[in-house]
Amino acid sequence: MLEIKNLRVSYGHDVVLNGIDLKLKTGETVAIVGESGTGKTTLGLSIMRLVEGTVRGVIRFNGKDLLTLSDNEMQQIRWSQIAMAFQNANNVLNPVHTVLNQVMEPMIEHRLKSKEEARNRATELLGYFGFPRERFSNYPHQLSGGEQQRVLLAMALADDPELLILDEPLSSLDAAARGEVGNLLKEIDKHGAKLVATHDLDTASKLADRIAVLYGGKIIEAGPTQDVLSRPRHPYTRALIRAYPNMTTVKDLQGIKGRMTHSVSGCPFHPRCTQAIDTCQTKVPQLVWNQGRHIACHRGGIITLLSTRNLTKSFGSLKAVDSVNLYIEAGETLALVGQTGSGKTTLAKTIMGLHPPTEGTVYLEDARVDKRRKDFYKRVQMVFQNPGESLSHRLSVLEAVMEPLDIQGVGTKKERRKKAIQVVGEVELPQTKDFLNKYPHHLSGGEMQRVAIARALVLDPNLLIADEPTAFLDASLQAKILKLLLNLQEQRGLSMLYITHNIAAARKVSDRMAVMLNGKIIEEGSSNEIVATPKQAYTRDLLRAASTLHSTESSSIE
Amino acid sequence: MHIDLKKEIKESGPGKAGLIILLLMIVMALLAPILAPYDPYQQSTASLLPPSWQHWLGMNHVGQDIWSQLVYGARTSLMVGFGVGIFSTLLGTIFGVSAALVGGIYEKVVMRIIDAFIVIPMVIIVILISAYIRPSIATLILLLSFLSWQGGARVMRAQTLSLKERANVAAARSFGANHFYIAWRHIIPDLGPILLVDFIHGVRRAIFMEAGLAFLGISDPTVISWGMMMRDALSFSYLNVWQWWLVPAGVALSLTIIGLTFISHAAEPVIEPRLRGVGIA
């Protein structure tokens, strides 16, 4: 019904939409999702031909290219066939008309209905959206935001349009009203199509069959709503979901590094991406069909950074790690959870090459890792369990943080020093001369662990393996270190393998979890699934034994 | 865990005494030209004189001033001692640490070579070789070093095996460090006290060996040494010259070795803390 091809909209030099392709079938609802400023509203306005910029491309509505129609012809279509509910109610509602008149107006203006019919239809629509009848004669400024929103929706539906464009339809409603209005919107107009522009993932998931994620004027991922939301494949989509407060995910909220800027060369998202490569800076990725999803990414969506295949490590007859298959995607945290002695640390050390594997292989970005050379360690780093031991007592803070750079022979001594001091700042430690010259035994446990983290980050690795990084810290320090790790992930796009016996801490920092028992991975999945619906008895035991503040039943692992 | 070798030695009575003795000997060797009133090589017709104000310890059988010989003898002993100490510790460190770090066949080969050396009676080998080549001081140092690094290497290897399991070594590896870097930056600094003890052992053994060889008359005859003085004096034992000829040389040698023994005994707890008696940990 609606087909948009290579739509470009610019205001002066600012390109707001940069080659949008979108199809909408009758009866379908598509959500356009993205941060503020990605061009969602502009897209809606372009279809309505209400945009005040240069519009190029094709918008075909029922066979007619809207962009080539005369103003008069467009006037025929606008509101009667294509209607839009605007976001900013205050600017749209006419302050000198009553509510009922506002809704009647378009019907009368388009001479679709007599005054009487219009009144009935308006009454019906307002009633449908739960607008109280006794307030029909109120003026817009007398209404609350939620009530104004309902009026706007009623107005948009007044002429019974085929295509309804909803710009943030639920944003000014409270949670309860959202559910109600959301359901109403879903019910109406099954024969027409809806285009929902929203930054709110909940709205998208409530209303839309398909979702298209917009960034920097381009669609970067599109697919069935539930599919995209439960398993995002573009780094930006995942970042959006991480930043969105909801009851499904268990990980702490995380932002996206940097700010959105327009007119970026290459992929619009590359300055903020977790897996950008050189091509991303120069070439614009095309939206292509890839395993059930449209994705615009040079790397085919989120990549698998590291994976193991049948990785086994035996000590004599004991299989400490037993045929482990794991993968870690770029920019995500995988928590490896299990009790002491389950082989977690051995697995980490085997991945790091500190133990030679008995069997199996490690792959870094699909390349088999056999002999680990210096460049492997540039990309994969580890924070060891006990910072008091892993920091040499002979090296000062500065020397310890510089050590990896010294070993790798990066830059001049001056550059290494500068880099080390910068990273010390990144882990929120003082950069004073006094502190940099301290030795580990002058530091507190929390400071030592931060130094150890800084040391692991100084080479700018892609993957950080953190082995019980908070095991020696009290709860408040633990919280700070976990927050730090989350922030570092946000800022640097780090992938993390977070090893812990504490499933309560793991669920706060991880996107996915793998539960390890006797050297085997017995359960693996997204953290929220593992926490909400554990499949294995052992996982349930772990969850039952995890810290809680209400000890109603005694809990222990049998 | 910081091991303070200086403190360890200073807190032990014999350790302190040993240190003082060794320092005295070093001062004597360094200041030999000042302390010795005569050229120790200068022969004269005044042979076998008893002590006098001109010649504190009298004259030997070829008319050389015994006190001057004693003073210069300290130079020989200490030079051989420290030379061998340095070289054998160096060899021991290189082979011991590398064997532990590299492992595999290399380690096996090195350790078997060490075993082979240890079962060979070193004294006899040294005597045999010396008898043939009559070594100068330099060759003697090399010969003794070559024959005496093995014990140290074993200790060094054992210690390295334990040190290399530490997390800071694992961390360094995870930055891509090679064996050499790990040995130099993480293992050897922590071997410090053990190196010193091994060094002192080496010094003591070498001084003893040098004196023995000279006593047997199979070292360089042109170099004055306590061992040689004792040998020469012994042939005149029917006269009472031994009192100022044989005894001072013997005492100087014994004192030096006792001093070194005291120091190494005091430093022993550094290697094996269980030897430390009841005290502050």
Four-point Cα dihedral A51, A53, A56, A61, nearest 10 = 10
- Considering only alpha carbons, which residue of chain A is nearest residue B170? A354
Q: A420 at the B interface (CB within 8 A)?
A: no
DSSP-derived 3-state class of residue A218: strand
Mutate to test the interface with B, among A315, A389, A442 (most CBs of B within 10 A): A389
Which of A510, A531, A501 lies closest to A329 in space, CA to CA?
A: A510
CB interface of B with A, residues 1-60, below 8 Å: 1-2
pLDDT digits over B102-147, tens only? 989 999 999 999 999 888 888 888 888 888 888 888 888 999 999 8
Higher pLDDT, B46 or A323: A323
* Cβ pair A466, A383 in contact under 8 A: yes
Give pLDDT, residue A512.
Answer: 92
Q: What is the pLDDT of residue B1?
A: 43
Predicted local distance difference test score (pLDDT) of residue A223: 93
> Which of the residue ranges A117-126, A442-451, B31-40, B176-185 would you say has the lowest mean pLDDT?
B31-40
Residue whose pair of structure tokens reads 């012809």 in the numeric block? A73
Mean pLDDT of B12-16: 81
Question: pLDDT tens, A145-160?
Answer: 888 888 888 888 888 8
Which residues are CB-contacts of B41 (< 8 A; sequence separation ≥ 6)? B64, B224
Which CATH number is associated with domain A331-356+369-545? 3.40.50.300
- Interface A–B counts its CB contacts (< 8 A) at 57
Between A108 and B3, the higher pLDDT residue: A108
Residue ranges per structural domain of chain A: 2-81+161-295, 92-159, 331-356+369-545
B175/A407 touch (CB, cutoff 8 Å), yes or no? yes
When pLDDT is averaged across residues A318-331 and rounded to a whole number, the result is 91
Mean pLDDT of B178-186: 92
pLDDT at B3: 57
Maximum Cα–Cα distance for chain A, whole Å? 90
Interacting residues of A424 by C-beta distance below 8 A, sequence separation 6+: A397, A398, A401, A430, A431, A435, A436, A451, A454
Question: CB distance A384–B171 less than 8 Å?
Answer: yes
Contact B166 A389 (CB under 8 A): yes
pLDDT band at B90 (very low <50, low <70, confident <90, very high): very high
pLDDT at A325 (0 to 100): 93
| Domain over A2-81+161-295 is classified CATH 3.30.1330.60 | no
Residues A168-206 have pLDDT tens digits of 888 888 888 888 888 888 887 666 889 999 988 888 888
Beta carbons within 10 angstroms of residue B234's beta carbon: 12
- Return the residue of B nearest to A374 by Cα: B176
Residue B238 touches chain A, beta carbons under 8 Å: no
Average pLDDT score over chain A: 87
Tokens of B171: 């961390």
Asked if A381 is an interface residue toward chain B (Cβ–Cβ < 8 A), one would say yes
Query: Percentage of residues in chain A with pLDDT exceeding 70?
Result: 97
**CB B209, CB B126: distance < 8 Å:** yes
Q: Does B172 touch chain A (CB under 8 A)?
A: yes
Task: Point out the residue among B174, B186, B190 whose CB comes nearest to the CB of A377.
Answer: B174
Rounded to two decimals, the ipTM of the complex is 0.75
Closest-CA distance, A183 to chain B, in angstroms, reads 55
* Contact status of A439 with chain B (Cβ, < 8 Å): no
Task: Supply the pLDDT for residue B281.
Answer: 34
With pLDDT > 90 as the criterion, what percentage of chain A qualifies?
30
Beta bridge partners of A361: A309
Q: How many CB atoms lie within 10 A of CB A7?
A: 23
Indicate the domain borders of chain B. Answer: 22-37+58-274
Whether the Cβ atoms of residue A116 and residue A100 lie closer than 8 Å to each other: no
Q: Is B165 on the interface with A (CB under 8 A)?
A: no
| Per-residue pLDDT, B280 | 36
Return the structure tokens found at A468. Answer: 């019980």
> At B4, is the pLDDT very low, low, confident or very high (cuts 50, 70, 90)?
low
Scored b (16 or more CB within 10 A) or e, B193-207 reads: bbbbbbbbbbbbbbb
Instruction: Give the CATH H-level superfamily of domain B22-37+58-274.
Output: MetI-like (1.10.3720.10)
Give alpha helix (H) positions in A159-289: 175-187, 201-207, 225-230, 235-242, 278-282
* Spatial contact of B84 and B94, defined as CB atoms under 8 Å apart: no
Alpha-carbon dihedral A166, A171, A174, A175, rounded to 10 degrees: 80
pLDDT score at A97:
87
Which long-range contacts (C-beta less than 8 Å, at least 24 apart) are formed by B54-57? Answer: B57/B244, B57/B245, B57/B248
- Is the pLDDT score of A488 beyond 80? yes
- Nearest residue of chain A to residue B1 (CA atoms): A393
Q: Which of B1, B167, B181 sits opposite A384 (nearest CB)?
A: B167
Q: How far is Cα A151 from Cα A156, in angstroms, rounded to an integer?
A: 9
The per-residue pLDDT for range A254-281, each reduced to its tens digit, is: 878 878 777 778 888 888 888 888 888 8
Residue B275: which pLDDT band, with cuts at 50, 70 and 90? Answer: low
Strand duo A210-215 + A193-198: pairing: unpaired
Query: In this structure, what DSSP letter does residue A557 have?
Result: -
- Backbone dihedral region of A44: left (phi > 0), alpha (psi from -120 to 50 degrees) or beta? alpha
Q: Which whole number is the average pLDDT over A476-501?
A: 89
Q: What average pLDDT does this structure show over A34-61? A: 87
Read off the DSSP letter of residue A468.
S
